[in-house]
Structures are given as C-alpha cells and as structure tokens.
Structure 1
Amino acid sequence: MRNRSIYIAFLFLLFNSFFITAQSDKQKALEAKRVKYQKELKQLNALLFSNKKEEKSVISLVEDLNYKVSVRRNLIKVTNDQANLLTREINANQNEISSLRDQLTTLKKQYAEMVVKSYKNKSEQSRVMFLLSSEDFKQAYKRLQYIKQYADYQKEQGDLIKAKTKKLQELNTDLLRQKKDKEQLVAENRIAKKELEKELKEQEKLMATIQKSMSSYTTKIKKKQQEIDEIDREINRIIREAIAESNRKAGKSSSSKGFALTPESKLIAKNFASNKGKLPWPVERGVVKIRFGTQPSPIDRTVPIKSNGVRIATAKNTQVKAVFNGEVSRIIVVKNGNPIIMLRHGNYITIYRNLSKIYVKKGDKVTTNQVIGEVFTNGQGETILGFAIFKDAKPQNPANWIYKM
C-alpha cells in the first residue's frame, strides 16, 4: 500500500514537471515575441516618427501610423497572452501549494505518532525481549527485519517532510515572483493601451482629412503604383535578357526560363540556397514598411499595392550591403526612379532599389556585407530601400530568406 502511494506521488510529480516545463517553454516563446515587438516599436519611433522638421505626405503618415498601430496591437495581444498564462501558472502553483500543505500536515501527524510509538518502545531491553520472545529463529529474523524497516521508514518520513517543506518554500518564492511579473505585464499593457488610443485618434483624424478628397489621394496612390510597376517590368526584362544571354553563351536555347550555370555558378547558387532564412539584412537597421505580395492600400482598400520585394524604412545616409557573395550584374537607371543595383548569385538575383550613391560597377565581385551603395532620402525625410530576391525570373519573398525579417 505504501509502495502504491509512493508510485502515485511519483507519477503526480512527473506529470507536474512536464506541465511546468511546457508552460515555461510557452512563456519563453511569448517573452521573445514581446521583446521583438518592443524592439520593432522602438525602431519605428526612431526611423519613422523622430523627424519633425520635414513634413511627410498624408499618405506616408497614414502608412506609418497603420504599421505602428498593427505592431502595438500585436504587443498588447502577446502581453495579454503572457499575463493569462501567468494567471494559469499562479493558479496551478496555488493548487500545488495547497496540496503540499495537506500532505505536509498528514506527514507530520504520522511522523509524530511514529516518534511517540518509538519513544515508548525505545529501550534496548524491550527490543531484546521482543526478539527473545520469538518462537523460533525464523520469527526472530522476521522481527529483526521489521525493527530495521520501521527505523528506515522513520528516516524516510523525516526526509520526505524536509523535501516537502523545501518544495513548499520554493513554490511560495516562485508564486511571489509570478505575481510580481504579472503586475508588471498588466501595468505595461495599461500604458500600451493608452498609447494605442492616442494613435487610433490620430489615425481617425488623418483619415477624416483624406476622406474629404479621397479621389485625389487614390489617384496619387495609383500613379505611384504604376511607376513601381513600370520599374518592375524593366527589372523583369533585364533579368530575362540576362537569362537568355547565359543560355546563348552555353549553347543552349535562349528561350530557357532559367540561367545556364557554370560549375562555379552552381556552387554559388547552392551556397545561397543553403543560407535561406540566415542571410543578413541589406541595411544595418530598418523596419519592413511594405511586405512582399499584393496587399490593399491603407488609404483606399479597393486599390491593391503590389510588391515584388520589400520596402525597408531606414535612417538617413544608411549604407546598403550585399546580402551574399556575388557579381554586379547591372547598374540600372530608370525613368521616375533612383539607381538600382542588381547582384547575381548563380541563378539567384538580389535587387537594391532607390539608391543615392553607387560604390560598385558592372562586373565587380562582391562579398557578403560589402557596402555597395547608399539609400536615397526624399524631401520629406523618408529613406526607403526597395529590396527583392529572384530565383531566375521568379520573385521570392525576402522574409523567407533574410534572418528574422
């Protein structure tokens, strides 16, 4: 019966340790997300909201504010999730503390009874008499074993009381820490919600201004997208030409949709592909203002914004770095746009758009993190780098390639 009780207690402790580990892992994951959103908000404030001298366009202000609101909401949500998880952990700890206290009370009572019983029979004479009164040697041996087992059990109970007491103290300490952590999270969330309220009011005010002449803003958004589409078509044309040229040189059909690769190019492409998700950012610090793919305009949600790459907001005079070893395939100068650098990495292409300075020329070999240019800053103080990755002529989502994008 005693062994069965120990087995049940062991199973309980084992299950509880698994539960605590799972909760702890989830809490760590949530904390990592919270830190990420806090860092992103800090960068947003530094890169998009710190320059009060230049007057941004209303469109840019709305885009920036929408982005900030979405990050703030993510921060509030993950902080809520953390607080809720802590509440569950606190409740679990309180239940375990209550259970341990009951066990401790029972153990102490049993131990006290054993001590009293042991005291009454503690004399060596009574133990000897207990053994000598045995009917035979076998019974005497069994009685001797019983005395030893009883003494061991007393010691075991004493050790168990010590262990339970220590566990209870640890849980109480942990509970106090959890309650303090939860109070801090709740306080932080209260501040974040107040900031969100301010941002939503500002957003509402800006949108009210836009609504007065929505058609005019919609026209501007469409015109800007047309200019971007025109540059995208030019980049696609140049990539297709480069693919055709590589196939002609290799004696293959110029209609092939992929680059003809030399053994060296194949190795570069293989190394590039093996670094998927680990490539460095093309700028020292920045936030992704426009993500890859098609998304509705924050001004007029009926107007789609298409992006073959990402647009990264960064600081003035920011230098642009190559994300991998490669060769300068082309320096592109387009109408209604700033210079573009095209780097080739086997059958992969990386594009760096909206530059003010170029530090490389066609045919140059570049290495990872080598400075190749500088990002252009417009009259409103916006410094936006357009960055794209292509596999042959097919655009890739940079977020899948660049580390933690």
Structure 2
Amino acid sequence: MTQFNKWITILFILIISSGGAIYAQNTQQSREELEKRKRELQLEIEEASKALKNTKKSSRESLAQLRVLKNKIELRSKLINNINSEINFINGDINKAQRDIKTLERDLDTLKKQYADLIVYAYKNRSSYAMLNFVFSAESFNDAVKRYEYLRQYREYRRRQAGTIVETQEQLQTKIENLKNQKDKRSLTLKTEQEQRNTLEKDKEEKDVVFNKLKAREKELTADLNKKKKDAAKVQAAVRAVIRREIEEARKKAAAEELARKKAAEAERKRKEEAAKKLAAQKAADNKSNEANNTTVAANPPAKEAAPEKPVDDDKPTRSINVLEATPEALALSENFEANKGKLPWPVANGVITGFFGRHRHPVIETIWMNNDGLIIATPKNEPVRAVFNGVVVNVYSAAGVGFAVLINHGKYFTNYVHLQSLRVKKGDKVTTGTILGTALTNEDNTGEIEFQVWRDINLQNPQPWILPK
C-alpha cells in the first residue's frame, strides 16, 4: 500500500467514525426530546383529567365536558404515538446489542482457537533443551539474541492473548446483560402502551355516551349556540369600538403634536430670517465705515465671517408604521410584545384549551359551524386571571352572558380577557406581566372558564402561537 493510499484509508475511517458519533448524538437528542414531550403530555393529560372531574360535578352533560373528553383523547393518542417511538428506539438498541453479541462471540471463538494453537505449539516445544537448542543453533551472536527476544515476545503475546480472551468474555457478558435489560424495558413499555390504549378506549366510550346524551338536546344546544353568537358579537363590537377610539385619540394626539412641531419650526425659521437680515445690515454698515476711513485690508484684516448654520429640515415628516405606535413608548411596547411571541405566559396558571381559535364544526350538531374569537380555556373555579404582558387597561366592561371583560393595550396590540366574575383592575391602570385582573367566571358545569383574545388594531389574531406551548 502506498503512502497516499494509507492516508486515504485513515481519512475514510475518521469520516465514518465522526459520522457515527453525529448519528449517536442526534439519536440521543431525539430520545431526550421524546422523554421531554412524554412528560409534557402526561402533565397535560393530568390537567385534562382534573378539568373533566370538575365538569362531572354538574348534574348533566355539557359541551364543555365533551370538549375536555375530546382533548383528553387527542392527548392520549399523542402519548401512545410517543411511546411507540420509544419502543422503536428500544428495538434498535436490542438489534444493535444482538449484532454486538454475535460479533463478540465470533471474536471470542477466533481468540480461543488462536490461543489453543499457541498452547499446542508450546506443549510440543515445552522441552528446555529444545528452547536452548533453538537459541544456540543460531549462526551468530546477534541472531541468538533475536531468537531469544522472539521467544520472550512469544510468551508475552500468549499472556496478552489470554487477557484478551478474559476481557472479551467480560464484554460479551455485559452485552448479554444489557440485552436482557433492554428486553425487560421493552416489555414494560409495551405494557404501558397497552394500558394507555385500554384507557383510550374507555375515554372514547365515555365520550360517545356524553355525545349521545347531548345529541338528544339538539334544540337546546342550538338555542344556546345562537345566544353565545350574539354575546360574542357584542364583545367584538365593544372591543372594536374601544380600539377605534384609541386609534382616533392617538391620531388626534399625533396631529396636535405635528401642528405644534410645525409652529415651532416656523417660529424658528422666522427667527433665523430676522437674524440673517440684522447680520446683513450690520455687514453693510461695516463696509461703509471701512470705505470712509480708507482702511486697508492688509493692515486690519476683517474678522472671518462665521459660516452660516446648516439649515435643518424641520418639515421632514416622522413616519410611523401605525398611529398607535406614534410615541417611542408605544413603539417600544409593540416591539417587545412581538419579540415575545410564543413566550407569553398563559392567562391562568392551570388550564386546558377546550375551544380553539377560528371556525370549527359544532361538536354535536355537525351541520352547524362555530367561530371562536379566541381560546376557550377551562380552569379551576375562582382561578386568578393574569395579564400576559405589560400594558394599560383601556376598557373594563360587562355584558350579559360573558360576565366582565378587561381590554389591555400593548402598543398596536391588545389582549382581551373575557368571562371574568370579579375584577381587580380599572380603566387607566398600568399592569405588568402577571398582574391579577380578576377571577374566572363559573360556568354551567360549576367550573371556571375564560376566553383569551389577541388583537392587532381591529383585527383578531390566533392567540395560540403567542403563548407558551404546554
């Protein structure tokens, strides 16, 4: 093998080794992500179970109970998929362990055969006379020394070979034990997966029972839905009216500030014109005085005229993306709110989303569509509702069917907290992240429920991408 080929071979081995290390690292990361998601799903299922327990305190079935059951079924299905992914990893470990065991067994057989050959050879040449004859039959002293060194190295190699056999046997035993542990782990995980499937079937059966009972109350549900649509329309109208008022006030304030700035700029321009006229008159008077006195420039050089001030373009308009961001404070608040997208805390410490933003088919009456302006969150009774970001309370209002609502301004963004049964803030209050606004309204299931909305100007946004994922 040439020197070049040796280097190519070494480089190839290094690439393969590094690739294997990267694969192992990615596998480890995937396992860590699986474990993390598994814990998160288990916590969400626990919260859903608590919410379901609270809804069952009601005397009869409700849509909230059906939504919690559906959410719980979805979470448990995700957990089962997570467990199946974990089983796939374990199967991969088992297959790798089996391959390693076969390789070690082959290596051990080879080592034992080689060692047996060494023992046979040593037995046949065990005579001290044969050893001495082998050394002293050398043609020269140097050759005799080399033969002696060969015998010494041979004995050392035989000793090392025995040690390698013992070490390989230990590695093989460790791999066998690891394989057994992996198989035990797989059996336990498969058992857990089956238990989750059994529970999932029970949840589905319970959901079907609730669904059928609600289906029998279709007329009542339709009337209730129509009432909720009217209530939601009132909330939307109230929010848009307040936001339009805020926009108009911000526009008036910006216009007044712009007018004041222009007046100040005009006054400054006139002042500069008057100063320039006075400077020109003074210069003309000085020139006449110099001509009358016949004063030479060389004898008395005139003072260097000050350079005229560079005009300032005071009429250059200050552009703003949005009138609600006209002030530096409002702009900074908007930018900070945007920068925290996906990081905002939940408005309640304990809660489960039972209604998602946007248009959805009715869970019972499939011919009817529902539209949620925000996230419907089931929460324990009397749960504190908190502000998700710094801002100013611009409206506190109440309406039939929705309880109290609090609207908070965050620059060009607004958060709206609907279905509160008590209030801790008033219009004009400055709030920070975590400020308690009130408590959740108790619904027909005798449990808490709120609606959380996010607005950009007068346009509704999906709140889910803004809050921390669970």
TM-score clears 0.5: yes
Contact 1:317 1:376 in 2 (8 A): yes
CA distance, structure 2, for counterparts of residue 156 and residue 222 of structure 1? 87
Contact 1:375 1:385 in 2 (8 A): yes
CA distance, structure 1, for counterparts of residue 151 and residue 245 of structure 2? 95
Is 1:230 paired with 2:237? no
Contact 1:243 1:260 in 2 (8 A): no
Deviation at 1:392, TM superposition (A): 3.1
Deviation at 1:365, TM superposition (A): 1.6
Work out which of the residue numbers 157, 172, 177 in structure 1 matches 2:176. 172
Alignment of 1:18-33 (within 5 A): 18-33=22-37
SS at match of 2:385: strand
Amino acid at match of 1:400: P
CA distance, structure 1, for counterparts of residue 33 and residue 74 of structure 2? 20
Is 1:325 paired with 2:329? no
Work out which of the residue numbers 100, 116, 119 in structure 1 matches 2:104. 100
Work out which of the residue numbers 38, 56, 69 in structure 2 matches 1:65. 69
Q: Normalising by structure 1, report the TM-score.
A: 0.82
| Number of the residue aligned with 2:377 | 312
Contact 2:52 2:69 in 1 (8 A): no
Amino acid at match of 1:64: V
Amino acid at match of 1:85: F
CA distance, structure 2, for counterparts of residue 263 and residue 122 of structure 1? 100
Contact 2:384 2:439 in 1 (8 A): yes
Deviation at 1:403, TM superposition (A): 1.7
Contact 1:48 1:313 in 2 (8 A): no
Deviation at 1:123, TM superposition (A): 7.8
32-41 or 81-90, larger mean C-alpha shift: 81-90
| Number of the residue aligned with 1:37 | 41
SS at match of 1:180: helix
| Number of the residue aligned with 2:462 | 397
Alignment of 1:264-283 (within 5 A): 264-283=329-348
Contact 2:58 2:444 in 1 (8 A): yes
Aligned CA distance change for structure 1 residues 132 and 348 (closer, same or farther; 3 Å):
farther
Deviation at 1:75, TM superposition (A): 2.0
CA distance, structure 2, for counterparts of residue 195 and residue 63 of structure 1? 17
Aligned CA distance change for structure 1 residues 85 and 225 (closer, same or farther; 3 Å):
farther
RMSD value, Cα: 3.9
Aligned CA distance change for structure 1 residues 330 and 159 (closer, same or farther; 3 Å):
farther
SS at match of 2:403: coil
Aligned CA distance change for structure 1 residues 124 and 244 (closer, same or farther; 3 Å):
farther
| Number of the residue aligned with 2:304 | none
Q: Deviations over 1:333-389 (max 9, x none)?
A: 234321111122222222211111111122222122122211111242131111122
Aligned CA distance change for structure 1 residues 19 and 94 (closer, same or farther; 3 Å):
farther
Aligned CA distance change for structure 1 residues 99 and 268 (closer, same or farther; 3 Å):
same
Larger Rg: 2
CA distance, structure 1, for counterparts of residue 152 and residue 399 of structure 2? 94
Contact 1:339 1:355 in 2 (8 A): yes
Contact 1:296 1:302 in 2 (8 A): yes
Aligned CA distance change for structure 1 residues 161 and 388 (closer, same or farther; 3 Å):
farther
Aligned CA distance change for structure 1 residues 371 and 103 (closer, same or farther; 3 Å):
same
Contact 1:250 1:260 in 2 (8 A): no
SS at match of 2:349: coil
| Number of the residue aligned with 1:202 | 206
Amino acid at match of 2:83: T
| Number of the residue aligned with 1:382 | 447
Q: Normalising by structure 2, report the TM-score.
A: 0.72
| Number of the residue aligned with 1:290 | 355
Amino acid at match of 1:175: L
Contact 2:362 2:370 in 1 (8 A): yes
CA distance, structure 1, for counterparts of residue 371 and residue 139 of structure 2? 96
| Number of the residue aligned with 1:186 | 190
SS at match of 1:300: coil
Q: Deviations over 1:246-298 (max 9, x none)?
A: 22211289xx8652332122222222222222222211111111122222221
Q: Deviations over 1:26-65 (max 9, x none)?
A: 3332222222222111111112324544325432332222
CA distance, structure 1, for counterparts of residue 412 and residue 126 of structure 2? 90
Aligned CA distance change for structure 1 residues 265 and 10 (closer, same or farther; 3 Å):
closer
Unaligned ranges ≥5, structure 1: none
Aligned CA distance change for structure 1 residues 208 and 374 (closer, same or farther; 3 Å):
closer
Number of aligned positions between the proteins: 401
Q: Deviations over 1:121-178 (max 9, x none)?
A: 99899599669947797x8999899789878876876675566445434433332332
Sequence identity percentage: 29
Contact 2:64 2:354 in 1 (8 A): no
SS at match of 1:328: strand
Work out which of the residue numbers 407, 412, 418 in structure 2 matches 1:353. 418
Contact 2:453 2:461 in 1 (8 A): yes
CA distance, structure 2, for counterparts of residue 122 and residue 335 of structure 1? 110
CA distance, structure 1, for counterparts of residue 452 and residue 371 of structure 2? 14
